[in-house]
Amino acid sequence: MTTKPSKLAISTWAQLLRTSQRFTDQVEAALKHAQLPMLGWYDILLELHRAGSDGLRQFELGEKLLLPKHNLSRRIDKLQQEGLAERYLCESDGRGNVIAITDEGKKLLAKMWPVYAAQIEVLFEENLSGAEQQQLSALLEKLSKV
């Protein structure tokens, strides 16, 4: 292992992070413009929806999120206060809780998706061909295994 990354590696790394942040900021702005909650709520609700009626333990939810996990407990508290998620005692482990999406959470998720999907289309799909998307996906998959 070298002690200093190449200029190309540093430049590409910075470009990847800047692009990711810019895209996230634009999705957040579109959700705000549509008077919808932040992307972090969508991320949590989507994973709870995928889990179905069994729900997820908080640590399991944290492992699945695409966005940073900081303040996850507070976000779950807020979702619960808004009636979008519920907590209940884990039957197999009385020390922990399970979080599950409510019907209201599913409705909100359905409202948020069209706004989010439109941003994916505008920011990503319209700017990369199918072949380029496959190439980028393969490169990111390779990096995800590091």
| Distance between CA atoms of residues 135 and 122, nearest Å | 19
| Distance between CA atoms of residues 22 and 110, nearest Å | 24
User: Which pLDDT does position 96 carry in this prediction?
Assistant: 79
The 10 Å Cβ neighbour count of residue 103 is 9
- Contacts of residue 97, defined as CB under 8 A and 6 or more positions apart, other chains included, come to 57, 58, 87, 88, 89, 90
Class at the top of the CATH hierarchy for domain 24-120: mainly alpha
Radius of gyration of the chain (CA): 18
Which pair of structure tokens corresponds to residue 14?
């910075």
| Distance between CA atoms of residues 98 and 91, nearest Å | 9
pTM recorded for the entire structure: 0.86
User: Which pLDDT does position 94 carry in this prediction?
Assistant: 67
Q: pLDDT truncated to tens, each residue of the chain (146 aa)?
A: 668 999 999 999 999 999 999 999 999 999 999 999 999 999 999 999 999 988 999 889 988 887 676 788 899 999 999 999 999 888 777 677 899 999 999 999 999 999 999 999 999 999 999 999 999 999 999 998 88
Beta bridge partners of residue 85, listed in sequence order: 101
User: Which pLDDT does position 73 carry in this prediction?
Assistant: 87
Domain positions in the chain: 24-120
Q: CA triplet 133, 41, 107: central angle to 5 degrees?
A: 95
User: Which pLDDT does position 22 carry in this prediction?
Assistant: 96
